Amino acid sequence: MNCPNCYHVSLRFFERQGARLNSCIQCGGHWLAKGELERLLAGRPQAGPGGYGPYPGQGRQGSAGKGLAGWVLERLLKLALNKLQRPYASQRGHYKRKKSWLSRLFK
């Protein structure tokens, strides 16, 4: 399978803790195989009452305790949240082209 961004670079496959991760060597992108996000979400602890996260006794583990599946899930959720908060952030650089001095001469 080729990278969706680079097109000519083939992806490397990793399978750790039941999650299959595709990684591109050139651009550094990471992709999940079909159905992997649902599998990762199924293994994640549910939020307490009111949707405020785990109970106080169930504190979050550090980065070292999450493993690959937790890291990938956290990264994907962070990217999705950023896209929801700033939907037009990726459209930088759209500007009106400056007119040349020649076009001003022939008005």
Q: What residue numbers bound the domain in which 29 lies?
A: 1-41
11: alpha, beta or left, given left = phi > 0 and alpha = psi -120 to 50? beta
pLDDT digits (tens, 9 = 90+) for 11-43: 887 776 677 778 888 887 877 777 777 777 776
Residue 11 maps to a domain: yes
Contacts of 25 (CB under 8 A, 6+ apart): 9, 12
Instruction: Retrieve residue 67's tokens.
Output: 């493993």
Mean pLDDT of 51-74: 62
10 has which bridge partners? 2
Contact assessment for residue 68 and residue 13, using Cβ atoms and an 8 Å cutoff:
no
Residue 3 maps to a domain: yes
Residue 106 maps to a domain: no
Q: What is the number of domains present in the chain?
A: 1
Instruction: Give which of 57, 78, 26 is closest to 70, Cα–Cα.
Output: 78
pLDDT of residue 20: 77
The pLDDT of residue 6 is above 70: yes
